[in-house]
Structure 1
Amino acid sequence: MRSFTKGIYRNDVKLLWLLALPGILHFVVFKYIPMFGNVIAFQNYNIFQGVFESPWVGWFHFERMFLYPEFYEILKNTLVISFYSIVFGFPAPLVLALLLNELRQSWIKRPVQTLLYLPHFLSWVIVGGIFTQLLNPTGVVNKLLASYGIERIDFLTNPDTFVGMIVSLGIWKEVGWGMIIYLAALAGINPNLYEAAMVDGANRWRRMWHITLPSLLPSIVVLFLLRIGNLLDANVEQMLVFMNPLVRDVGEVIDTYVYSVGLLSAQFSYTTAIGLFKSVIGIALVVGLNQLSRKTTGESIY
């Protein structure tokens, strides 16, 4: 009987590995093998000579990156947009999930949840076309402001409002999708905890503060660390859709700079060096904050 059980277990393990094989191959082929291409950051890469015959230049491209006069302005723009996106965008899905969790009428809860995560499935080209029409000086929003005697606001070409618009649209588009993760975590909380708290006289606020949030802490920590790891990443598609020369001083970020220099000017080694710089910063942030989170909250991603 024991040998029969071991045989079933071994077959199940083999089956699980077989099911996981496509995912493993995907990561190996498209994630790990391309990492060897980072070597061109230390070369003067030529597509005709290839990786093995292109001349080595050492740290030249990294020096060029840091000596570029506008690089620090671009880095500042990236950090500003990412900072506002994290400060205002990261808590938004959690707050929405907590509010929806308090709704008891499912006929309201389900349609609202669907409407909130529906924008995630729209491309930035579609979103850009819609909001360009809504926010331009003759659009619906400015006509509404003018009807109340408020001066028209040029959202799309005014540097003072561009960053706020970009951050707000990013939150609006992705907040519902992030909310789903927290709703799934909320569904896994033991309802007996809430019943015991109600017997002890805890109101909704107390139950949320002492049961819901502590139960969500592992999910919050993991999502926050993953978000911090992408601190230097900006949604290049969104920025390219809304970018224009009048707001380039505040809207030019690392990804759009890499796009213009790397793809349009074919400076592959230089842009690879920039990408490698971003990756090193992201890894350092994740590792450092992961250690800090483990010591302070006891939660970490590894």
Structure 2
Amino acid sequence: MSKEVQPGRIDGQTVAITGATSGIGSFTAAQLADLGARVLVLGRSESRGRSTVSALPNPDRHEFVRLDLADRTSIAQVGDRLGELPRLDALVLNAGVVAGAFGPGPARRISAFGVEEIVGINHLAHAELLRRALPTVRRVVSLGSMLTRKIPFDRENWLSERHYRARVAYAMSKHTVEIFGFELHRRLAETQSIVVHPGGAIDALTPGRPGARVARALFRGIVQGKDQAARPVVAAVASPELRSGEYLGPHRTAHAEVQQPVTTSLDPELGAWLWTETERLLGARIPTEPRHPIG
């Protein structure tokens, strides 16, 4: 029997969410604010950021912080700012480049980290942000994908250097997010690391979108709206009984359930290799000795 997971109240806790101005991130922000959190809305657009904050419960409690994951200077500034907070209860690594109609085209593009763009933004940019925030962050929530079950991890082509397809590059980025999330669990004894996959989600199924009722009737049980996809992410942040190293996915009646990732995500040898590769590409060590007090 699966272990169902429900969130609890997190009054007074501070949560930072990347990509919180749209999609799953914005619904995660709203649901966590409903649970009492102070939300730091991280995103590129100033206007969308301000609008997101103003729509949250008790908007004066929350803050927009401009973050561009394609810009190393922006990542460094925001990461250092998070690392200087007296306490950051959770950092949700949600933002990312998505392969599809509105995502990368057929040509391979290079990120600010000198590697393929999708992996560069979805994994390396978040790893650098986290590296700088680790002095204060208590729980890391990384967003994987159920696409990892359909496209296997290719260690020889994880950066799309041999051949490139946007969908495969996206799958590689989500494999690396999951592998790295479990390696964080192994290395950061005093910082929890939870990995989540939000399931299949499309914007058309989200309440308030044109045709949402029709779309729900057509796709019920297959995919879900972005509002429902946020639920396992919220549970990963706000569930008091969760242990570091667990993997959450959607559940029909609960917010989430503990599930089993693909075997490569849990492979400690692969995790150690990716950790070394990540540090090499970042050009910096990731601290493995948390410096915050535990209380």
Q: TM-score range by the shorter chain?
A: under 0.3
- The answer to which structure has the higher strand fraction is 2
- The answer to which structure has the higher helix fraction is 1
- Work out which structure has the larger RCO, using CA pairs closer than 8 Å and 6 or more positions apart in sequence: 1
Q: State the TM-score, normalized to the length of structure 1.
A: 0.22
Higher Cα radius of gyration: 1
